[in-house]
């Protein structure tokens, strides 16, 4: 896995330019408005269903196992957020930090709610929480097959780094 190249297509502007949720989602006054909130341990099944519906690979016997996610939720390094519409989880992100950098992991929006600004709102919410603790760099790793995700991140202001190659050392293939 490595960072993928490509030209940045710019950002959405500064915080002052951020629209309200309803505007961002292009919804009418009567349409449901998503609520961004902290994920809870009892969201695990809905989270997995969302990853599956969203076509996002995950590691059920490794770092995405129920006990791992439940243990990390609410942890000092975790910014695990969900987006609800009418009580259903329609988007989620597992933000983390290592004290130096913030990381966007497992970002997903349900197919029916895509291209409405929800993915950006979830990333913005992680960034805002990172800023509060003094972390000013937010990063993500995107697998080379995931061109939609690359386009999304570039669109919201992230820059690709062709010069980086991802290395890892694993206890086993599941982690």
Ligand X SMILES: CC(C)(COP(=O)(O)OP(=O)(O)OC[C@H]1O[C@@H](n2cnc3c(N)ncnc32)[C@H](O)[C@@H]1OP(=O)(O)O)[C@@H](O)C(=O)NCCC(=O)NCCS
Site of interaction with ligand X (CB under 6 A):
54-56, 107-109, 114-120, 140, 142, 146, 148-149, 151-152, 155-156
Cβ–Cβ under 8 Å, residues 128 and 97: no
In whole angstroms, what separates CA 80 from the centre of its chain? Answer: 9
Nearest distance in Å: CB 54, ligand X:
4
Which CB atom, from 82 or from 119, has the smaller least distance to ligand X? 119
The Cα 33–Cα 31 span in angstroms is: 6
Q: Is the Cα torsion angle 151, 93, 79, 35 positive or negative in sign?
A: positive
In this structure, are residues 97 and 129 in contact, taking their beta carbons and an 8 Å threshold?
no
- Minimum separation from the CB atom of position 123 to ligand X (A): 8
- Indicate the residue among 43 and 76 with the shorter CB distance to ligand X: 43
Residue with the closest Cβ to ligand X? 119
What's CA 159's distance to the chain center, in Å?
16
Which CB, 7 or 76, lies closer to ligand X? 7
Q: Which is nearer to ligand X, 133 or 151 (CB)?
A: 151
């Amino acid at each position: 896995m490595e960072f993928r190249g490509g030209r940045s297509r710019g950002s959405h502007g500064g915080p002052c330019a951020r629209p309200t949720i309803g505007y961002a989602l292009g919804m009418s006054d009567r349409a449901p408005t998503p609520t961004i909130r902290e994920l809870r341990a009892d969201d695990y099944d809905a989270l997995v269903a969302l990853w599956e519906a969203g076509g996002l690979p995950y590691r059920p016997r490794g770092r995405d196992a129920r006990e791992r996610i439940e243990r990390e939720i609410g942890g000092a390094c975790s910014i695990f957020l969900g987006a609800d519409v009418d009580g259903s989880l329609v988007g989620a992100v597992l933000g983390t930090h290592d004290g130096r950098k913030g990381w966007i992991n497992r970002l997903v929006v349900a197919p029916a709610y895509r291209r409405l600004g929800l993915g950006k709102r979830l990333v913005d919410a992680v960034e805002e929480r990172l800023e509060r603790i003094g972390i000013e760099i937010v990063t993500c790793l995107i697998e080379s097959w995931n061109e939609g995700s690359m386009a999304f991140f570039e669109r919201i202001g992230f820059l690709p780094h062709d010069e980086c190659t991802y290395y890892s050392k694993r206890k086993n293939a599941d982690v």
